[in-house]
Amino acid sequence: MNFDDFEKKLQHQPLRQIPANWRESILQAAQEQTASGTQHLLIRAVLITWCELIQPCRYAWSSMATLWLAFWMINSHMKFRPPPARMANSSPAASEQIRSFAEQQRVLVELTGPIDLSPAERPRRADPKPHSERILRIRSC
């Protein structure tokens, strides 16, 4: 029996009606499935993400998580001191170094003059030169 004969036989077959109670139970099951379908969709998205992103590189991700956990633990156990007021408690030698540095900057500006920040002129191109007209021929064996 070929497909044409089978299709002709199906066309001559009468269609039966679905019982009404079946239709109601099918529609009710579909509505229940739709209501819980969003939860299943979210769970499926998480599983797909897990399978495609995390599982292939699970050793790298677990080592990164371990490092972050170690850094967090070290950071939580460290006692931070407030930064000292440097200028208020600075020694006379430190303030002398600061004055010396400022003096060096002032002398440097005097010697070099003001910095010119105007844009530089673009270099001019020479006259265009002729290009090679030779045709490259590649031979293969």
In a domain, 124, yes or no: no
* Alpha-carbon distances of 137 from 130, 132, 134, 140, rounded to whole Å: 21, 14, 9, 10
Q: What is the pLDDT of residues 18-54, one digit of tens each?
A: 788 888 888 888 887 776 666 777 888 888 888 888 7
Q: How far, in Å, CA of 97 to CA of 91, rounded?
A: 10
In a domain, 140, yes or no: no
Expressed as residue numbers, the domain containing 42 is 1-73
Q: Is 2 or 13 the better-scoring residue by pLDDT? A: 13
Domain count, the chain: 1
Q: How far, in Å, CA of 109 to CA of 107, rounded?
A: 5
In a domain, 93, yes or no: no
In a domain, 123, yes or no: no
Q: Quote the pTM value.
A: 0.29
Give me the helices (H) in the chain, please.
3-12, 20-49, 58-77, 92-112
Summarize the confidence of residues 120-127 as an average pLDDT.
Answer: 74
Q: How far, in Å, CA of 63 to CA of 69, rounded?
A: 10
Q: How far, in Å, CA of 100 to CA of 116, rounded?
A: 26
